[in-house]
A and B are shown apart, each in its own frame.
Chain A
Amino acid sequence: MVPSADPAATHLAPLAFTVPIIVACLLLALGRRLPRWAVDGLATTTAAAVAGIDVLLLMAARDGRVVTWAGGWTPVDGTTVGIALVADPLGVGAALIAAILMLCALVFSWRYFDSAEAHLHALMLLFLAGMTGFVLTGDLFNMFVFFELMGAVAYALTGFKIEDPTSVHGALSFGVVNSLGAYLTLCGIGILYARTGELGLAQLAVALRGNPPEALLVTAFVLVLTGWLVKAAMVPFHFWTADAEAVAPTPVCLLFSGIMVALGVYGTFRVYHVVFAPVLPAPGVQCLFLVFGAVTAVVGAVMCFAQRHLKRLLAYSTIAHVGLFLLAFGTLDAAGTEGGALYVAGHAGIKSALFLMSGVILNRYGSVDEIDLHGRGRHAVLLPWLMPLAGLALAGLPPFGLGMGKAVAEEAVATAGGWWAVAVFVLVSAATGGAVIRAALRIYRGTGRAPEASPPGTEETSGTDEEAEVSGLLQRVPLTMLVPIVVLLLGALALGVVPGVSEAFHAAASRFTDGAGYVARTLGAPAPLPAPTAPSGWTLSGVALSLLSSAMALAFALAALHHDRLPATLRAAARPVAPVLRGVRALHSGHVGDYVAWLFVGVAVLGAFLAAGAL
Chain B
Amino acid sequence: MEENVVLTARGITMTFPGVRALENVDFTLRRGEIHALMGENGAGKSTLIKCLTGINDFEAGEIHIAGIDGPVKNHSTRDAQSVGISTVYQEVNLCPNLSVAENLFIGREPMTAFHTIDRKAYNKRSQKIMDDLGISVDVTQNLENYSLAIQQMVAIARAVDMDCKVLILDEPTSSLDDEEVEKLFVLMRRLRDQGVGIIFVTHFLEQVYTVCDRITVLRDGHFVGEYPIAELPRVKLVAAMMGKNLDDLEEIGKDHTDNAASKELEISARGLSHTGTVKPFDLDIHKGEVVGVAGLLGSGRSELARAIYGADKASTGTLQVDGKTAKINQPIDAMHLGMGMLPDDRKAEGIIGDLSVRENMILALQAKQGMFKPLSRAKQEELVDEYIKLLQVKTAGKETLIKQLSGGNQQKVILGRWLITQPDFLILDEPTRGIDVGTKAEIQKLILKLAAEGKSILFISSEISEMLRTCSRMAIMRDGEKVDELDHDLTQESVMKAIAGGEQNND
Do A and B associate with each other? Answer: no
Chain B interface residues (CB < 8 Å from chain A): none
